[in-house]
Amino acid sequence: MTTLVDRTDTLTRDALAVLQPGFVGTTAPDWLLRRIGEGLSSVGLFGRNIVSPGQLTALTARLRAEREDVLVAIDEEGGDVTRLEVRTGSSFPGNYALGSVDDVELTRAVAAELGRRLAACGVDLNWAPSADINSNPSNPVIGVRSFGPDPALVARHTAAYVHGLQSAGVAACTKHFPGHGDTAIDSHHALPRIDVELATLHSRELRPFREAVSAGSKSVMSAHILLPALDPDRPATLSPRILTGLLRQELGYDGLIVTDGMEMQAISAVHGIERGSVLAIAAGADAICVGGGLADEDTVLRLRDALVTAVRRGELPEERLADAAARVRALADWTRGARGAASGPGAASQEGTAPGAEIGLTAARRAVRVTVGRYPREPLTTAPYVAAFTPVANIAVGDETPWGVAAELARLFPGTETGAYADAAVDDVLLAAGGRRVVAVVRDAHRHPWMSQSLDALVAARPDTIVVEMGLNAAPPRGALHVATHGAARVCGVAAAEAVTGT
């Protein structure tokens, strides 16, 4: 006979099981280990938690020493969004670069190598790939995280990425369902809205997710966006019509549904994270991602208690919470089997120690596009002045990861100097450059009028200026040489430096 104590214990464990919290530090705090022992089934890792592959391997081993089946998740898209290499820049170009090459076997190989490195460090769930279609070039949060603007291209590369990542034993998490590409607001700050007809959503936004489901993506992440054609009242993360009706029933998806970060303002500013989490589980989500900004024990306990209370009050069916927890545990079982089929944690986890380690640089080189201007092209042969026009990074990318070409040009040409600019200070650039040739490095110049004005003025004053665009290549080419890298990963900077020097 089930007692009240037994039911309470089950509810508490199920409520802990559906949470994917983060924490602060490079070692697991005591409170996290304690909660894992009590039933917490997932842990999310961010750049603040990672110093090196060896440290990460030790961290994941410590988590699993508490319980073998804990899911260790990470937001490692490669390209501009990296956690493994947050301090140096990624060894892999991101989706936009891969989409520009449009070689699905290359995408699969890049994802497989990235997955191998994650698996070697003990990570088994990756919140990637982004299957969003970049239909709005002014989108402030997706941009180069998308494979491109064409639904068919995005669909085939999403499927290839899922296959590659999961071939290494790491579960993919295709995001942000049902598509975040046609938004003009960052959901970290407010609730975006996509006002298009249902037919457009099916032919455009949903196409990559259908491919991801067919490819066997082990998880899908919901978006905090309002799509009135699907649900005029609730954002996707909180919508039964979207998560259960569309994703589960219409698309036939049976894997884990993970929410985007519940502390993001699109949800927390309207509902609060406790109420938002209850609504998300009730709508059909199985795991609550929280910890990018809130990363403490109090948050975990508040969410656990909110879910248990909602069940007791009849606001959340007990069977729905149990089903969500079961899906988390089922994915954990899959990852345990996948880890067992791969080499043990720590094997070949350092860059360059396994076959395929150069695939990232190869892909970045293939993604570079060079346009020669009217000024005669002359390769860079002496130490230049690198002017980096730096926009504010979105929260998903972060501002702690270095980007640009200055480091690589300084390696090739000792004496290279650089300056960072956040407004139209062309006179300052010319003064600092002196007689040196100028390499102007930009990121999404089309979205920042001050950046476009700076480039126009700089090229007018110095026609031999080389322009390197490391964001969306959506503005007209400028300069004697215009180099589009289709992303700002470290390897994209290396490929750009090779292009401007002719090496």
Give DSSP secondary structure letters for 137-205: TT-SSSGGGSS-S-HHHHHHHHHHHHHHHHHTT-EEEEEEET--TT-SS-TTTS--B----HHHHHHTT
Degrees to nearest 5, angle at CA 289 with 285 and 293: 150
Helix (H) or strand (E) holding 346: none
Task: Confirm whether 260 is a catalytic residue.
Answer: yes
At 388, is the secondary structure helix, strand, or coil? Answer: strand
Q: Is 222 helix (H, G, I), strand (E, B) or coil?
A: strand
- For residue 452, what are the CA distances in angstroms to 13, 141, 333, 473, 481? 54, 20, 51, 13, 16
Catalytic residue among 176, 188, 482, 486: 188
**Reduced 3-state DSSP string for 298-334:** HHHHHHHHHHHHHHHCCCCCHHHHHHHHHHHHHHHHH
From the candidates 80, 132, 186, 260, give the one annotated as an active-site residue: 260
* C-alpha triplet 18, 21, 23: angle, nearest 5°: 160
Cα separation of 296 and 193, whole Å? 31
Which whole-number Å values give the CA distances from 236 to 135, 179, 205, 391, 471, in the listed order?
Answer: 19, 10, 13, 30, 28
- DSSP state, 362? H
Residues catalogued as catalytic: 188, 260
